[in-house]
Amino acid sequence: MQYTSTRNNSINASSSFAIASGISSEGGLFVPTEIPRITDDFIESLVPMTYIERARAVLSLFLTDYTAEEIEKYTLGAYGTGFSSAEVAPTVPLGGELNILELWHGPTCAFKDMALQLLPYLLTGAAKRVSDGKETVILVATSGDTGKAALEGFKDVPGTRILVFYPENGVSPMQKLQMTAQTGNNVGVSAIYGNFDDAQTGVKRIFTDEKVKAKLAAHNMAFSSANSINWGRLVPQIVYYFSAYADMIKLKKTRNGEKVNFTVPTGNFGNILAAYYAREMGLPVNRLICASNANNVLTEFLTTGRYNRNRPFFTTVSPSMDILISSNLERLLYHLSGNDSETVKKLYSSLSATGEFTVDGAILDKIKEIFAAGFCDDTETKATIANVFKNGRYLCDTHTAVAVSVYKKYTAATGDTTPNVIASTASPFKFSKAVLEAVGDGKAMPSDEFEMVDALEKLTGTPAPSQLKALKGAPVRFEKTVKKDEMEGAVYALLGING
């Protein structure tokens, strides 16, 4: 299987090269030249399997230059012991069409672990083949959850260093502590003055800057990415859509061949894009419902074809979705334009020049056939958390609540009764303040983060993940905040090389 770039489709690369590089040298994203199709009995064969076995079956369709032994070893290392649920990513039926795919049982309590527990294996395996002994420097921009998940995945992995940038005021206190107290000898963390888009734009610029690359090469280092621009982030996420469908069969919520909907709380468009790939491979999917918070740039785009980032940026109670530039949308546009890198280049030069682009009618028609979209504000998010808890004693986090709220609006508007799976992306205890405000009795709020965790646990009878409770009193190691234009210097400082 070969990969090419969304901005230059004359490029041909192996999966190893795509994963080791992270981003293509001209700034495009790696995409498969052809999406593999599953055979008729593929899904049936997944039903009795464990998550690890399902992962092997799906991954081997895409990662054809990795050996079966490598994939076996990697999946066992990633999903064997690090998850607090034996099923890794269980599908929990709450009644009605609320089937919750819990993607947050990994070490950092967010769905990013599903990919970032595997990525270090994929990346070091790839680097052995294509990076001629260079140390891999992983550069990450995070809206909160990717940073911690990448730090946990890569800490003390030989041959790698990891540096994370997060927006100073754009993450929850728990997310911040998870990162600033990170242990490990190859890790670095810095806050920036700005929002996630600033962090992501800065990281992308550093990545593709030839001067910076040359400086790293002189120290026998090369960049790669653990953001969802890296193909190695996306492919592990395709797995759980197949796994959820197999679970829906097991739960007798659907029969093999019948379509389901997936509702996905969306920011950078990585999670829902993985669902798109699963659908293109032949997974029976009716609609992919894209759920946004008040930063509803995607709602507008998927319903009108106009992407316009010139709008106010809101800081919300679902911070991991506070994004106005959804980088993985580029991959969708590449596929929907008939693998046309010239079209993608035009759209993205318009985005950087004017902050917007509009796709043609043919692309919009395809989008509307596959996607539905909606958004909700913080008040609706909190009301949804309260409602889900009242009706089913089930505590969900703010991001998952956005998906539930948007799904309810979707069914009310369309009458669609297709069985539905909600991607649940984080533990509610990562966002204790907002969740406590939603389900609390209005009594005085504790001001300390860990007192909030305790209060939430007591009030709801839901146990908090031990990984989060263990952070109480953890020493903070990284306290620096830099300006946007100081990020390059911060990279050199964190790597201990001279700028």
Ligand X SMILES: *Cc1c(COP(=O)(O)O)cnc(C)c1O
Per CB under 6 A, 292 contacts ligand X? no
Per CB under 6 A, 269 contacts ligand X? yes
Considering only 117, 292, 320, 420, the residue that binds ligand X (CB under 6 A) is 320
**Smallest distance, ligand X to C-beta of residue 428, A:** 10
Binding mask 380-419 for ligand X (x = CB under 6 A): -------------------x--------------------
Cβ contacts of 303 within 8 Å, gap of 6 or more: 368, 373
Per CB under 6 A, 295 contacts ligand X? no
**CB-based contact 497:219 (threshold 8 Å):** yes
Considering only 97, 113, 145, 380, the residue that binds ligand X (CB under 6 A) is 145
Interface residues for ligand X in 416-435 (CB under 6 A)? 425-426
Strand partners, 166: 191
**Contact region for ligand X (CB under 6 A) — 242-250, 265-273, 374-382, 457-465?**
265-273
**CB-based contact 322:373 (threshold 8 Å):** no
Inter-CA distances, 457 with 100, 436, 463, 464, 466, Å: 20, 10, 6, 6, 12
Per CB under 6 A, 27 contacts ligand X? no
Considering only 24, 271, 299, 381, the residue that binds ligand X (CB under 6 A) is 271
Q: Which residue number, 320 or 381, has a Cβ lying nearer to ligand X? A: 320
Q: Which residue number, 271 or 432, has a Cβ lying nearer to ligand X? A: 271
Q: Which residue number, 112 or 134, has a Cβ lying nearer to ligand X? A: 112
Q: Which residue number, 149 or 494, has a Cβ lying nearer to ligand X? A: 149
**Contact region for ligand X (CB under 6 A) — 254-262, 264-272, 348-356, 386-394?**
264-272
**Smallest distance, ligand X to C-beta of residue 265, A:** 5
SS3 450: helix
Q: Which residue number, 125 or 265, has a Cβ lying nearer to ligand X? A: 265
Amino acid symbol at 486: E
Q: Which residue number, 260 or 402, has a Cβ lying nearer to ligand X? A: 402
**Smallest distance, ligand X to C-beta of residue 435, A:** 13
Per CB under 6 A, 265 contacts ligand X? yes
Considering only 321, 344, 359, 401, the residue that binds ligand X (CB under 6 A) is 321
**Phi, psi (degrees; rounded to nearest 5) at 373:** -150, 150
CA atoms of 440 and 386, how far apart (whole Å): 9
**Smallest distance, ligand X to C-beta of residue 484, A:** 21
**Contact region for ligand X (CB under 6 A) — 125-133, 243-251, 269-277, 370-378?**
269-277
**Smallest distance, ligand X to C-beta of residue 236, A:** 12
Interface residues for ligand X in 215-254 (CB under 6 A)? 228
**Smallest distance, ligand X to C-beta of residue 182, A:** 17
* Residue 164 half-sphere exposure toward CB, CA atoms < 13 A: 32
Element containing residue 423 per DSSP (H, E): strand 420-424
DSSP for 32-95 reads ESSPPPPPTTHHHHHTTS-HHHHHHHHHHHH-TTS-HHHHHHHHHHHHSSS-SSTTSS-EEE-S
Per CB under 6 A, 262 contacts ligand X? no
474-427-425-98 Cα dihedral, nearest 10 degrees: 180
**Phi, psi (degrees; rounded to nearest 5) at 334:** -60, -50
CA atoms of 62 and 64, how far apart (whole Å): 6
Considering only 108, 243, 266, 460, the residue that binds ligand X (CB under 6 A) is 266
DSSP for 148-217 reads HHHHHHHTT-TTEEEEEEEETTSS-HHHHHHHHT---SSEEEEEESS-HHHHHHHHHHHHH-HHHHHHHH
Binding mask 61-100 for ligand X (x = CB under 6 A): ----------------------------------------
Cβ contacts of 113 within 8 Å, gap of 6 or more: 82, 83, 104, 105, 106, 107, 149, 152, 153
Kindly determine how many residues on this chain lie close enough to bind ligand X according to the rule CB under 6 A: 17
Instruction: Please give the distance of CA 482 from its chain centroid, rounded to a whole number.
Output: 25
**Smallest distance, ligand X to C-beta of residue 308, A:** 18
Interface residues for ligand X in 157-216 (CB under 6 A)? none
Per CB under 6 A, 268 contacts ligand X? yes
**Smallest distance, ligand X to C-beta of residue 135, A:** 27
Strand partners, 161: 137
**Contact region for ligand X (CB under 6 A) — 68-76, 219-227, 259-267, 281-289?**
259-267
**Contact region for ligand X (CB under 6 A) — 117-125, 268-276, 279-287, 379-387?**
268-276
Q: Which long-range contacts (CB under 8 A, 24 or more apart) does 451-455 make?
A: 453/174, 453/429
Interface residues for ligand X in 96-125 (CB under 6 A)? 110-112
Length of the chain: 499
Positions touching ligand X (CB under 6 A) are 110-112, 145, 228, 265-271, 320-321, 399, 425-426
